[in-house]
Structure 1
């Protein structure tokens, strides 16, 4: 049985819209198991089995399961229980394409961005090599923050809302981008280069670099995800079929 409080704290994610704190905690636990492939694409399970595994009653469990279904991670079948959705790389490619469109549109609007917003990004990314982060999990959070920061600085709240939704939907693969050290160094180099280009008003060059940067990240996480899917079956949880 999992420790719900510990896992919820480890997730670092606040309850966005769950009215039931226990449902939020179990949502985070199941999502962690999906993201780590302990709940593998195609795995099936019943509500009773998974409620017993996580040590919660069926009401918060069902709230969590239906939330994950709305987000596209699970599907439910009549008298067939729940199933972990397969990773749809075609859909992920489309989401990455949408992300590029949004971030390029934001970049075009950065000429009048508040200095404080860009200063915050420079403080993280325009640093000496000895000051660079090396923890993959922290790098993932910082990377999301950089790209969200660019869109936020553009000042369009609807653009930011859609970008946040795209970010959430690609997170299952994007979080793997920094498992290899060369991706961390490349990300620092490219983020700092983009910021320097923006500072000099070279938005066209920054756009070319941004597109290449996101495209390369998409290719890297696809390779890593396929590799992990090929080896993760040993982590199967006991209650799935």
Structure 2
């Protein structure tokens, strides 16, 4: 991996995990000293981050970590709800048995998430297994390519998910919803799928929690301008 690629990877990681908060200024001098690299290659890295939505560049203010755009988040959630609803319906409506290996994999993931919740371990670890749970469902339906497309979703959605995990009870809630989804698929209860997917993926985007606790992280309309409904 080249030096520029490593710096790009590290800055993306810091932004996605909220180590660099939205609105943080990424000054060229400080970054040059941190990574011991000249400004010319560093500017290439910053331009790439801007192109991918990690940074916004403002006159006289410089490079700022982008604020989380809830409109962009809503569109990714709409995509996920649409895809996962159909995938789970299909799985729960199958006449032939689900592959035992896939069912065992899902059960193992739920056990890992439960251990994380009980021990209060790293939320990043929980998020990893959250992704693994949904990926396994897509794989059962032979839709791995669609999951890969979702995983390429933008920086706004990735940080939105992490903000919600800062709420103390959120991991327990997600684990409980995963168990309900698992039971519905295994027990062929397709009638519950729509409600479960809507609750699991879409309900939070309208919640007041983010606006109450993390308004400084969000891209919100200027004062006096009404928000667009999500």
TM-score (norm 2): 0.73
- Structure scoring higher RCO (CA < 8 A, sep ≥ 6) equals 2
Structure 2 partner of 1:40: 22
**Which runs of at least 4 in structure 1 moved beyond 6 Å after TM superposition?**
77-80, 127-131
Structure 2 partner of 1:138: 125
Structure 2 partner of 1:99: 80
Does 2:184 match 1:197?
yes
Contact 1:121 1:149 in 2 (8 A): yes
**1:196 Cα offset (Å):** 0.9
Does 2:196 match 1:209?
yes
Does 2:48 match 1:61?
no
Contact 1:102 1:163 in 2 (8 A): no
Structure 2 partner of 1:84: 65
SS of 1:166's equivalent in the other structure is: coil
Contact 1:151 1:160 in 2 (8 A): yes
Aligned residues: 210
TM-score (norm 1): 0.70
Contact 2:112 2:129 in 1 (8 A): no
List runs of 5+ in structure 1 lacking aligned partners. 1-19, 232-241
RMSD between aligned residues: 3.3
**1:57 Cα offset (Å):** 3.4
Spell out the pairing of 1:154-169 with structure 2 (5 A cutoff). Answer: 154-166=141-153, 169=156
Change in CA separation of 1:203 and 1:166 when aligned onto 2, cut-off 3 Å: farther
Task: Report the Cα distance in structure 1 between the residues aligned to 2:113 and 2:32, rounded to whole angstroms.
Answer: 48
Contact 2:85 2:193 in 1 (8 A): no
Contact 1:108 1:203 in 2 (8 A): yes
List runs of 5+ in structure 2 lacking aligned partners. 218-230
Contact 1:37 1:229 in 2 (8 A): no
